[in-house]
Structure 1
């Protein structure tokens, strides 16, 4: 062998037209995620089990390191394979498999390494194969000045065939990154999960590190659809009679299409295609004009591995879409269009059923049971509004439940039904019209509460005067509370005054057998929430002690023990003691108050507390109306 030939064997050579690098590297790969995806693809084909992606951005000189434990490259392989632009690995090796036949290879076109120059101007590659290390540098500033195709670019060799005890694998470092903002490891992990379906394989693990070892993310397939809650899933192959059966590759298509509760992020709407676990066509609806909002709830992916065996290469260079102009791909596209359209036709009913079930789950109320209890004319109206809400594509499931509950609560008010009747004859209620109805009703309700609150403010002033004058318990305060029970608690809507237990319980639970006991309480009250309030009223200057609390506890437990257990029974029995002051100097009194309040059995209030609470409660209604009226 001549000296000239020896020297040539120790050189690395890349043959290229500089325009190739410019168009296929710098311009096509201008963002970080697809560049990293190309390197991960190479690691997978190199039969790596572990890949580490290190993102360093603590200073202005950002860099990225991607390390794998694949079989690495010899010096000859670097020259004949890695530095050979456009090499078709599968044709060269006459095999669809990786070096040791462990995997079907993902790479095909041999231009992925050009992606490095899309974000970095200097790349160092260190690779170990069979205990031999080789390291070289690709420098874009030098490479781009190589203007003549016959003038070979010669990467800088750092390490040449050096013996090493390092494990096999490859480390690629990207320097001089064209990026001002910090790296986002979450975005990198998410993009990788969208680009491949290999991250659940037991012998392929990918970790993304950000500056330090403790800040890491494991890439998994599930990241692709995080935060999306499925309503229904169509698993492929679809062996369902109502879907097309005229496509010859139908049984070879695997994957799933999903209908979700929430709208899908715009870049994931539609169905993506994968071949050999790598993305070959981004999310789309193919020949469907997806103008309906309902399409924004559909996402999914399908595996079409058979396209890699087509006579013609139909995968685009950047793997974002297939070439749909061949006979084989046109047939595939037609099948996808028909199938997705069939799935979309099923989604409206599935979403409505999900919203009804969600409402039942959230409220414990069956819409059908509720509407069936209404008078005939109201039933028709309620059903129309409810089903318009449930069927609206623009209203999320959680919001739909909230609005249906609002309708149910509001149907007890005639003013709401009057407004609802105005749109009863409208054939198709739009989301906008439904929301306008609720806004109108909210203003009316607020106005009524505003007028009521203004009147109650005057009542509160009267109550304040009774407290100041130390009014008598029975002659003055009792009649006042009997007439205005809301001042004790807004939930109270009825007072029963000065009755014996026997009479109270016989009136409300006639089948209960009671002993005749002449034990009295001041009030037994009913609330809208089906609670019973036992209220013991003292004088405005009375000092509440533990003895008063014990008395209220005794009253409360007696009532609770003697209530018959049936559907009309109250949900809870609560006692109130109202007086002028609380003896907080007495430790036992203070502890007893805290203990009873924690278990929602006995509450102790002063008249001043009632006065302050009543003012604040009604002031909220005044403020709310004024705010709504000014919007």
Structure 2
């Protein structure tokens, strides 16, 4: 844009020779710096608010009308412009108001440091409106012009000078001191904002939310007649902790009553008098900063200079990878980034800074150190803040903490608070319940290790010293086992619900050999061997003439080998329908045992302890005529080859009874089970957002 040097004000204006208003600009410049530079209405209106501030306005009103009129009206009560000033200041692209030859560094009435610098912000209006009409009143005289982007484009394409339309029909409401911009023929894709959304976004973009009265230079932004205020700063309502630079503090009234406040130094470079003001804080959960669809993402720190944004977000520039960064929001004002006598380092849209500038590097390094300081404080204070809420919600956890040794309580509270403060995806709250359970179980182990360290420090260990250690070990084992056993009882009960023989075969084949504790609780840590199993497979295939024992391969589902504490275990799972003869089983077990003994002997192991277990669907047949009970005969017959029989149904019932007996018999386990169960129950009842998925895949009920 370029302005004519003639105007009605200097007495040299000749209306017969030229138009009242004149714009000269290459349309590619308008495209790059106006139409295509700004992607949303909030950014555009920020430019107009900045212009009003620089014009010494005490109030700027935005009428956001998305109804039948399809218009946005921005009105201020600032100094206004004459025709000459409208041509020179508004219609000139690149007009630099801060140039000493123009207006200097501050506004004439209130001495405000000018926000504007590049002289291209007014082009932003063309990114949201095809028609822009400007009314401006100064010293009682009102002038107005209108620009139609389509006409402007046609004029620029043929290389002519564009003359905005001189508007003479001026509404009485616009003929008052200040400037009015009427934006019409709006671009709908860039106007998709609600009034609430616009309020929240503008509230974050300007540090002018003070209550200075207009007669003292205060500045108010209003939308549809309602002034933007602290309540529109959504992130302030989410804060748990806040760190503030220097003496410039936020009012207590705008923060949560229980927020914790910390002070940070504000001198970036004392030799150059580079200082900052502002704050950053952390929310309870990262989602607290991303949930607000109207305000947009609040998870970042906006950098302002001269009370307006100069960098939309700086966290990602700090090379800061701690979890702390996911919870942070804030606003920092660094006026030294926009000193008039130094190079302009802001990009055209004022959303980024030139990063290799010493001022930017100094700010980033300063904030990085502040983050490290704050993150350390946050890590210590946050769990303590969360723990009381958790213990109020879960009385059993509170009772558990209170019964710990004094030295353990602070660590337990920190652990509980840390788990409580973790953020989970919607519907995955059951994961927090699992973490509480696991954390409480693991804590006993942590306490055990701490007690052991204390014992190592003692020069002389007595019986009185060792008793607490043994007590903690018992507590840990009970706590650990109750969680394992509880899940196993639930798994075994699933076996009980199977009624079809084929189902039982498939399930046992899939799970039995990897969980030999189903056969004997003492086989908790049985370890398999692929090589030994291969030898057994060869036996089963006929290498040792097992068919001669009356058993053929079709009777067999699977065969496995494992070793446990020096014992060698052979397990054969037979089909549920097979009615094996006890004498055949004895002969078969003897062949297994002999063959395995030979293999182990070749490896240097003499007199190995070998046990053979047959898992059957039905009790073995006894064809011999015996005087004693069949069960006794079966046991004594298999004892000759160190063998045993386990029946499908009996195996499952015995395993359930065995583990339930343990749970009922252990006082420590029963108490901890009660605690963990209470956590699950509260977790199931918590929340009103519908059913949640628990760890086992089931749904909770509201």
TM-score (norm. length: structure 2) = 0.53
Partner in structure 2 of residue 117 of structure 1: 126
Which whole-Å CA distance do the structure 2 matches of 1:625 and 1:6 have between them? 77
**Aligned residues of 1:193 and 1:222 also touching (Cα < 8 A):** no
CA deviation after TM superposition for structure 1 residue 284, in Å: 2.3
Matching residue within 90, 94, 114 for 1:105: 114
Q: Is the 8 A contact 2:59 2:76 kept in 1?
A: yes
CA distance in 2, matches of 1:629, 1:401: 12
Give deviations 1:504-528, integer Å, cap 9, x for gaps.
Answer: xxxxxxxxxxxxxxxxxxxxxxxx9
Name 2:73's counterpart in structure 1.
65
CA–CA distance in 1 between the matches of 2:125 and 2:133?
A: 10
2:422 to 391, 394, 404: 394
Report the equivalent of 2:97.
89
Name 2:223's counterpart in structure 1.
Answer: 208
Residue 360 of structure 1 and its aligned partner are, at CA, apart by 5.8
- Give the alignment partner of residue 141 of structure 2, picking from 132, 147, 152: 132
Deviation at 1:630, TM superposition (A): 5.3
Q: Does 1:259 align with 2:282?
A: yes
Distance 1:381 1:132, change over 3 A: closer
Residue 354 in structure 1 maps to residue 363 in structure 2: no
Secondary structure at the counterpart of residue 64 of structure 1: strand
Residues 459-505 of structure 1: CA deviation (Å, up to 9, x unaligned): xxxxxxxxxxxxxxxxxxxxxxxxxxxxxxxxxxxxxxxxxxxxxxx
> Which residue does 1:339 correspond to in 2?
370
- CA gap of 1:327–1:100, structure 2 versus 1, over 3 A, is same
1:78 to 83, 86, 91: 86
Q: Kindly tell me: are residues 630 and 78 of structure 1, through their superposed partners in 2, closer, same or farther at Cα, counting changes over 3 Å?
A: closer
TM-aligned CA deviation for residue 363 of structure 1? 7.2
Matches within 5 A, 1:272-351: 272-309=302-339, 310-351=341-382
Residue number among 165, 188, 191 corresponding to 1:156 in the alignment: 165
SS at match of 2:166: strand
Q: Is the 8 A contact 2:401 2:413 kept in 1?
A: no
Contact 1:274 1:302 (C-alpha < 8 Å) held by counterparts:
yes
Is this contact kept in 1: 2:384–2:413, CA < 8 A? no
Q: Determine the structure 2 residue equivalent to 1:188.
A: 198
> Within 2, Cα distance between the matches of 1:15 and 1:627?
68
Q: Do the aligned residues in 1 keep the contact of 2:387 with 2:414 (CA within 8 Å)?
A: no
1:544: which partner in 2?
none
Deviations 1:123-178 (A, max 9, x none): 11111111111111011001112336962211000129999993212211111111
C-alpha change, 1:112 and 1:260, in structure 2 (3 Å) is same
Deviation at 1:312, TM superposition (A): 0.6
Tell me whether 386-395 or 159-168 shows the greater mean CA deviation.
Answer: 159-168
Is the 1:132–1:163 Cα contact (8 Å) retained in structure 2?
A: no
Distance 1:417-1:360 versus aligned 2 partners, 3 A rule: closer
Question: Could you tell me how far 1:252 is from its partner in structure 2?
Answer: 2.0
Distance 1:343 1:135, change over 3 A: same
Larger Rg computed on CA atoms: 2
Q: Is the 8 A contact 1:72 1:169 kept in 2?
A: yes
Q: Does 1:141 align with 2:141?
A: no
Distance 2:11 2:264 in 1: 73
Gaps of 5+ in 1: 210-215, 428-436, 451-527, 529-622
Equivalent residue number for residue 493 of structure 1: none
Q: Name the counterpart of 2:686.
A: none
SS for the counterpart of 1:171 is strand
In the alignment, the residues of structure 2 paired with residue 405 and residue 418 of structure 1 have an alpha-carbon distance, to the nearest angstrom, of 13
Kindly indicate whether residue 278 of structure 2 is the aligned counterpart of residue 269 of structure 1.
Answer: no
CA distance in 1, matches of 2:268, 2:692: 62
Paired residues of 2:266 and 2:277 also in contact (CA < 8 A): no
Please give the residue correspondences for 1:463-612 in structure 2 after superposition, counting only pairs within 5 Å: none
1:19 corresponds to 2:21:
no
Distance 1:323 1:407 in 2: 45
Q: Retained in 2: the 8 A contact 1:237–1:250?
A: no
Distance 1:243 1:162 in 2: 53
With structure 1 as the length reference, what TM-score do the two structures score?
A: 0.58
Secondary structure of 2:415's aligned partner: helix
Q: CA deviation at 1:361?
A: 6.5
Q: Indicate the SS of the match to 2:114.
A: coil
Taking only aligned residues, the RMSD between alpha carbons, in angstroms, comes to: 4.9
Structure 1 stretch displaced more, 188-197 or 438-447: 438-447
**Residues 10 and 342 of structure 1: is their aligned pair in 2 closer, same or farther, counting only changes over 3 Å?**
same
Q: Give the aligned partner of residue 503 of structure 1.
A: none
8 Å Cα contact 1:116-1:123 kept in structure 2: yes
Q: 1:247 aligns with which of 269, 272, 280?
A: 269
How far the C-alpha of 1:438 sits from its partner, in A, is 13
Q: Is residue 2:233 matched to residue 1:224?
A: yes
Q: Is the 8 A contact 2:289 2:329 kept in 1?
A: no
**Number of paired residues?**
437
> Which shifted more, 304-313 or 284-293?
284-293
2:65 is matched with which residue? 56
Q: What SS does the corresponding residue of 1:138 show, helix, strand or coil?
A: strand
**Whole-angstrom CA distance in 1 between matches of 2:138 and 2:320:** 51
Matches of 1:94 and 1:274 in 2, distance apart? 22
Contact kept in structure 2, 1:18 and 1:149, CA below 8 Å: no
